C-alpha cells in the first residue's frame, strides 16, 4: 500500500475530533512530501536537529510537533517554528522553552508527559509532579508557553488490557486536572499499534508513524 492509501485508511477510521500526527522520524523529505501532497499537514519528529533540517526543506504550512524526549540545550533550534511540544517532563524544560519562545515573540504550545507505562525506560511525570507544575506561581510568569494538555506512552506489550488500563489512567488524570485547569484540551496518546484503543479511551491526538510510512530501520 502507498502512503496515500495508508493515510486514507487511517483517516477513515479516525473521528473528526482526533488529530492525526504523522510521525516522520527517520524518513526522508521526499516521503514527507508524498504525505503532504495528499493533504497531511501535521508531522511529528523525535530529534530536534532532524526536524529543523526537514522544516528548512518542506512547505511552511506544515505543523511540526516535537514528540521525543527533549534536550534542553537544543530547544533554541526549533523555537522559531515548532507548533507543539509533546514531551515536556520538567519545570526546568518549560522555563527553557519559555525563554526561547520569548526571543521569537511566540507562544509555544506544550503537553506535559505523564508516566503511564510500567517500564522504567519511559519518561514522564507522576500526578504529584504534574500538579506541582500546574499549581506553581512561577508558571504564571511564563507568558510564552501554553500548557494545552497531556501526553503519554503505553507499555510496549501485546497485552491489550494492560494498554487500555494505561490509557484509561491518562484520561482519568486528564479529567481530574481539567476540573481545575479548563484550558487543558489535548490528550496525546496512541501510536500505530494501539491508536484504536487510545481513541476508545479518549485520545484527541494520535501519533502514528509506521502504519503510514512503513517500518523504520531504527527507532
Ligand X SMILES: *Cc1c(COP(=O)(O)O)cnc(C)c1O
d(CA 110, CA 129): 16
d(CA 190, CA 42): 15
Which residue's CB comes closest to ligand X? 209
Binding to ligand X, residues 75-94 (CB under 6 A) = none
In the complex, the smallest distance separating the C-beta of residue 84 from ligand X, rounded to whole angstroms, is: 12
84 or 142, CB closer to ligand X?
A: 84
- Please report whether residue 152 would count as binding ligand X according to CB under 6 A: no
d(CA 105, CA 117): 36
In the complex, the smallest distance separating the C-beta of residue 94 from ligand X, rounded to whole angstroms, is: 18
Cβ(66)–Cβ(75) under 8 Å?
no
One of 6, 19, 24, 46 touching ligand X (CB under 6 A)? 46
Q: Which residue is it, cell 482526533?
A: 18
Binding to ligand X, residues 56-75 (CB under 6 A) = 67-68
Letters for 172-211 (x = contact with ligand X by CB under 6 A, - = none) are -------------------xxx-------------xxxxx
In the complex, the smallest distance separating the C-beta of residue 104 from ligand X, rounded to whole angstroms, is: 25
One of 6, 25, 42, 55 touching ligand X (CB under 6 A)? 25
Q: What is the largest CA-CA distance in the chain?
A: 51
Q: What are all long-range contacts of 169-172, with beta carbons under 8 Å and residues at least 24 apart?
A: 169/116, 170/114, 170/116, 170/201, 171/201, 171/202, 171/203
d(CA 119, CA 32): 31
In the complex, the smallest distance separating the C-beta of residue 192 from ligand X, rounded to whole angstroms, is: 3
Binding to ligand X, residues 96-125 (CB under 6 A) = none
In the complex, the smallest distance separating the C-beta of residue 129 from ligand X, rounded to whole angstroms, is: 19
In the complex, the smallest distance separating the C-beta of residue 185 from ligand X, rounded to whole angstroms, is: 19
CA distances from 74 to 179, 203, 215 (A): 34, 29, 27
Helix or strand or coil: residue 130? helix
One of 23, 110, 163, 197 touching ligand X (CB under 6 A)? 23
d(CA 89, CA 30): 32
Positions touching ligand X (CB under 6 A) are 23, 25, 46, 67-68, 153, 191-193, 207-211
Amino acid at each position: 500500500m502507498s502512503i496515500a492509501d495508508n493515510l486514507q485508511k487511517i483517516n477513515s477510521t479516525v473521528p473528526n475530533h482526533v488529530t492525526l500526527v504523522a510521525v516522520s522520524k527517520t524518513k526522508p523529505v521526499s516521503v514527507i512530501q508524498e504525505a503532504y501532497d495528499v493533504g497531511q499537514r501535521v508531522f511529528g519528529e523525535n530529534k530536534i536537529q532532524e526536524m529543523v533540517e526537514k522544516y528548512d526543506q518542506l512547505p511552511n504550512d506544515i505543523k511540526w510537533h516535537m514528540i521525543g524526549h527533549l534536550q534542553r540545550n537544543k530547544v533554541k533550534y526549533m523555537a522559531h517554528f515548532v507548533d507543539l511540544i509533546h514531551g515536556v517532563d520538567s519545570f526546568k524544560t518549560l522555563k527553557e522553552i519559555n525563554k526561547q519562545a520569548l526571543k521569537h515573540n511566540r507562544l509555544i504550545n506544550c503537553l506535559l508527559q505523564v508516566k503511564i507505562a510500567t517500564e522504567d525506560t519511559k519518561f514522564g511525570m507522576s500526578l504529584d509532579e504534574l500538579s506541582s507544575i500546574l499549581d506553581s506561581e512561577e508558571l504564571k510568569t511564563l507568558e510564552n508557553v501554553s500548557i494545552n494538555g497531556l501526553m503519554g506512552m503505553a507499555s510496549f506489550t501485546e497485552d491489550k488490557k494492560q494498554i487500555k488500563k494505561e490509557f484509561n489512567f491518562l484520561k482519568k488524570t486528564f479529567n481530574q486536572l481539567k476540573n481545575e485547569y479548563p484550558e487543558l484540551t489535548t490528550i496525546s496518546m496512541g501510536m500505530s499499534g494501539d491508536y484504536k484503543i487510545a481513541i476508545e479511551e479518549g485520545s484527541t491526538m494520535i501519533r502514528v508513524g509506521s502504519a503510514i510510512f512503513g517500518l523504520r530501520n531504527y527507532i
